Amino acid sequence: MKFKISSSIEAVQFPPITEVHNWLANAPASSLPLIDLCQAVPSWPTAEELTGHLCERLTDPLIARYTPDEGLPEVRMAVSTWLRALYGNGPETSEICLSIGASQAFWLAITTLCQAGDEVIVQSPAYFDHPMALIALGVCPVFTAFNPERAGQPDLAEVEQLITPRTRALLLVTPSNPTGAVIPAATIQRLYELAAAHNIALILDETYHCFLPEDEPPHTLFNNEEWSDHFIQLLSFGKTFALTGYRAGALVASAAFIRQALKVQDSMVVCQPRISQTAIKFGCEHLDDWVARNRKMMNRRHDRFCTEFGDDDNLFTIVASGAFFAWVKHPFNGHNGREVARALVEKARIICLPGEAFGPNLQGYLRLAFGNIDGEQIPEAARRFLEFSL
C-alpha cells in the first residue's frame, strides 16, 4: 500500500482479540487443551427450538430479502414487549432500530450524536471497541481514572468534572465488560439526571443485562416518560440468545433520534439480516425460561470461578467480577498485561486479554471471560494460573 490512509484509523489500536489469536497461532505446540477466556462467547448452544424454527423459515423466499431499514415492525414489537416485561416499562416500537449487533448500534448512536472534535466520557476500563470506534470517528474518548477500590463502579463527582462544552455523552457498560461490575439502578438514575442537567446523552451498553444476578429490572429509567430526552440504550441479542454470529442487536432511543440514525443505517448496512430478525422475534416470544436457566447457570459459574480462583496461593487477584467477566490484577510488577497474557498463551495455553487493551494505565490487569468456559473447566483454569510463572 503506497497511498495514505486516514490518520484517525492509524491511531486506533489493533483489534485485541485478533492480536491474541495471532499469538496463539504462533505459540509453540502444546498437548495442553486450550482454555479460552478471550472473546466473550456463551459456551452453550443456541436453543434447539430456535434453530428448528429457523430451519422451517429458510424455505420462505422472503427470508432472503431486505427488510425496512429499522427492522420488521412485528420484530420491533416483540422486542418492545420483551423489554417492557424485563424493565417494567420500555420503548415503543418506533423507539427501536434493529442493528448488526450492539456494535453497530454503537456506531449508529455515535455517528448520529457526534462530530469530529466532540468528546464522550468513557467509564474506565472501557469495552475496547468503544474507544476504537470513537477514535476512528475523530471523537475524543475522555476516560475516567480506574480506581481498584471502586471495583468498576463510577464516581459521579469525577464524571461530572470531566464534562466540558464539547461533551456529547456519558458512556457506560452495565454489567461491565471488562470488570463485570453491575451499576445499581439508583446510580444509573443519578447518571441520567447528570446527563439531563448538562443536556447530553447517557448511553448504556446493556449487552449482558440477561446475566444480572437478581431477577430485578436492571434500572428504572423507562418509568420516566421523558426517558428518551437523554437516554440511549444498546442491546445485544447475541449473548442473550447465544447467537453471536447472527449479529443481532438494537438501538433504543427516541423516535426522533432513530429517524436521524436511519440515515446512517441506510448508508451503512441497510438493515439487519431478516434471518437474524426472525431469530430475535422467536427468542423474545419463546425463550424466557431458557434465558432464565442460563442466567442461573452463569451465576453459579461466577461463584465457582471466585471460589477456585480466590485460592490464597494464587498471586493473580480478582479486583472486580460479575456477569461474564473477571478483572484480575497480575502479580508481575515491571511487566505489562501484554507480556503476561502472551506468556499465558505460550506456557499455560490460556488465552485472555491484557488490561491495556481497555484504556490507559491498565497494564497491571487482565480480563478473563469466565463465561466462556464450563463449570468443570474452572478448577483447571484456576490451577494453571496458580502454577504460572513468567
Ligand X SMILES: Cc1ncc(COP(=O)(O)O)c(C=O)c1O
Where does this chain bind ligand X (CB under 6 A)? 40, 101-103, 127, 173, 177, 205, 207, 236, 238, 244, 249
Kindly state the cell numbers that stand for 178.
Answer: 471488562
Let me know if 163 is exposed, middle or buried by CB neighbors in 10 A (0-12, 13-18, 19+): middle
Spatial CA neighbour of 323 closest among 371, 355, 358: 371
Q: Which residue has the cell 439526571?
A: 193
Least separation, in Å, of the C-beta of 201 and ligand X? 17
Nearer to ligand X, 265 or 314 (CB): 265
Indicate the residue among 104 and 314 with the shorter CB distance to ligand X: 104
User: Whose Cβ is closer to ligand X: residue 348's or residue 355's?
Assistant: 355
Of 177 and 277, which CB lies nearer to ligand X in the complex structure? Answer: 177
Greatest C-alpha distance within the chain: 60
φ, ψ for residue 339, nearest 5 deg: -65, -40
- Nearest distance in Å: CB 323, ligand X: 10
Residues in the chain: 390
Q: Which helix (H) or strand (E) holds 302?
A: helix 288-309
Q: 255-268 and 101-113 are packed helices; what angle lies between their axes, rounded to 10 degrees?
A: 110
**Nearest distance, CB of residue 28 and ligand X, angstroms:** 29
User: In the bound complex, which residue of the shown chain has the CB atom lying closest to ligand X?
Assistant: 101
Q: Are strands 317-322 and 325-329 parallel, antiparallel or unpaired?
A: antiparallel
Least Å distance, CB 320 to ligand X, is 15
Q: What is the DSSP string of 357-371?
A: GGSTT-TTEEEE-GG
CB of 14 to ligand X, least distance (A): 17
- CA distances from residue 73 to 70, 93, 98, 196 in whole angstroms, order as listed: 8, 7, 10, 30
b/e sequence 87-123, b meaning 16+ C-beta within 10 Å: bebbbebebbbbbbbbbbbbbbbbbbbbeeebbbbbb
Cα distance between residue 182 and residue 324, in whole Å: 11
Q: How far is the CB of 113 from ligand X (least distance, A)?
A: 17
Report the nearest approach of ligand X to the CB of residue 244 (Å).
Answer: 5
Q: Which is nearer to ligand X, 95 or 205 (CB)?
A: 205
**Nearest distance from C-beta of residue 241 to ligand X, angstroms:** 11
Indicate the residue among 238 and 355 with the shorter CB distance to ligand X.
238
Pick the closer one to ligand X by CB: 76 or 348. Answer: 76
Q: Give the residue with the Cβ less far from ligand X, 101 or 337.
A: 101
Smallest distance, ligand X to C-beta of residue 78, A: 17
User: Cβ-count burial of 4 within 10 angstroms (0-12 exposed, 13-18 middle, 19+ buried)?
Assistant: exposed
Task: Please give the single-letter amino acid code of residue 350.
Answer: I
Nearer to ligand X, 37 or 343 (CB): 37
